[in-house]
Amino acid sequence: MADEIEMQNNKKVVQISEAFADDKLNRKTVAENFKNILLNTDLNVFSVSAQWGGGKTYFIENLIKLMQEDSINILYNAWESDFYDKPIIPLLVELFAKLEEYDLKTQLEEEIQKSKEFAKKICEKTSLQIGVNFGVLNCSANFDPSKKMIDSEYNELKNEIRSFKSKLKSIQEKLGKKIIIFVDELDRCNPMYAIKTLEIVKHLFGIPNIIFVLSVDKKQLENSVKRIFGTNDGDVNGYLRKFIDVDFQLPDSSNEQLIRYHLHKVWDKIDKFVKSGRYYNYNLQRYIDSFGYPRDMEVNQEQNVLSHLISDITNILEFSARDIEKYFMRFNLFLDILSEKDVLLIEPSLLLNALAMTDVDEFDNYVNVKPLNKYLEINKFLPLWKGIFKDSYRTELNDYSGNTSQKKEFTLRLNNYLCNMISKNDIEQEKYLQNYPTKIKFINNFDYNE
């Protein structure tokens, strides 16, 4: 028995250490402070706000890992469920599924069953859209003059909600831990669904030690309210304050932090090419010489070099956090397009994906060695690569301002590499290089924005 407890304790330590193990956004300290608030608060509803692409989901998922031994945590992705007419259904399913994971051999099993029965009656009798869309309520069904008012459906519903709350409160007390329901991606839902979810939190819950944490881009949520009610900013803030006790704002992350975080997420796909010898980075040494890289064993040298390159490109193109998120979604799709026979030419891949996302005309200009109408500073990147797709890699790159020896070194190294990786036929190599941008431009046919 003692050994079992020791194993459980060891398991606890290992599990908690996994939280924020790849904390590229420096969120762990913030999460520990927020954890203390949640475990000691008497309030019911919090929001965690950050702009789209600001790492809210990462923060919530790792906060749950951090709190797994201290509270009963439920992660509900609202966006994955907004095809339901009534958000109460998936929300209740997530809640009861988590409760059923606990010991059901005591009175807890009976109380969970009772709560589910009350929940079923509530779902049948109301749309829980109070204040949003009265037209869906059947007035004749809710007001029956042939009944005594004490027996009206309205009073029955009030009693069932009261009983539902009482049962959930009893379950929470017997479990001896706070129940925390994390609602993620609410701001991405269609506006009506988002408002319905807020109304459910207000009308059906409000139970001591059962806490909601809404992960949102507050501006997007405000836009949802405006689209439904057509209200001004002051009215929107007043409306949201009815539901949210405290708005917790995540500190803004720098673009460099976001880039490292997203690059880390796609690294397995890049590393597949590195390990198979189908990866080419001509400027690696130049970037190391220019920027240096941390000697920390946990920081991958190549990741550091690439993060510098991406940071420089996205700074010139003035990418926001949301743009960086889209950029990596796009780059992730590009990596999926490449086959096992392809070579990952990492530098032009990163640059051309950014240009294609920003302005396809500028993308075409760069590939076809025409002057860029915009973003002239982008010419300072990869000068040896500029023009490589239109002309043969053997052709002198006259637009490059460097010396002849560098140009010859570049063409020789790339030629030798492609000979080994693609074919020994010069025509096939040239064709491969010329077709490379097609894979990148093709992604513009996809809607990768949301």
Domain final residue pick, 205, 232, 249: 249
Asked whether residue 92 falls in the same domain as residue 198, the answer is: yes
Asked whether residue 157 falls in the same domain as residue 19, the answer is: yes
Number of domains in the chain: 2
Looking at residue 170, its amino acid is S
Q: What is the predicted pLDDT for the residue at 129?
A: 41
Dist CA 86 CA 81 (whole Å): 9
> Does residue 305 sit within a domain?
yes
Q: What is the predicted pLDDT for the residue at 111?
A: 82
Q: What is the predicted pLDDT for the residue at 374?
A: 79
Q: 3-state class of 110 per DSSP?
A: helix
Q: Which CATH number does the domain housing residue 136 bear?
A: 3.40.50.300
Asked whether residue 314 falls in the same domain as residue 331, the answer is: yes
Asked whether residue 206 falls in the same domain as residue 279, the answer is: no
- Helix runs in 205-320, H state only: 218-229, 233-241, 255-275, 284-291, 301-316
Other beta carbons within 10 Å of 375: 18
Q: What is the predicted pLDDT for the residue at 198?
A: 87
The owner of tokens 């397009």 is 337
Other beta carbons within 10 Å of 196: 26
Asked whether residue 224 falls in the same domain as residue 274, the answer is: no
Give the domain extent around 440: 255-445
Dist CA 229 CA 213 (whole Å): 24
> Does residue 379 sit within a domain?
yes
> Does residue 450 sit within a domain?
no
Asked whether residue 398 falls in the same domain as residue 294, the answer is: yes
**194, 243 in Cβ contact below 8 A?**
no
Domain final residue pick, 214, 249, 284: 249
> Does residue 15 sit within a domain?
yes
The tokens of 155 are what? 């009073």
Asked whether residue 176 falls in the same domain as residue 266, the answer is: no
First to last CA, the chain: 51
Distance of alpha carbon 405 from its chain centroid, rounded? Answer: 46
Please state the pTM of the whole predicted model: 0.62
Asked whether residue 376 falls in the same domain as residue 245, the answer is: no
Over residues 325-343, the pLDDT tens digits come to 889 999 999 999 998 888 9
Domain final residue pick, 233, 249, 265: 249
Over residues 145-202, the pLDDT tens digits come to 566 556 566 677 778 888 888 888 988 998 899 999 999 988 888 888 888 888 888 8
> Does residue 55 sit within a domain?
yes
pLDDT above 80 (res 14): no
Asked whether residue 133 falls in the same domain as residue 158, the answer is: yes
Which of 82, 47, 88 minimizes the C-alpha distance to 191?
Answer: 82
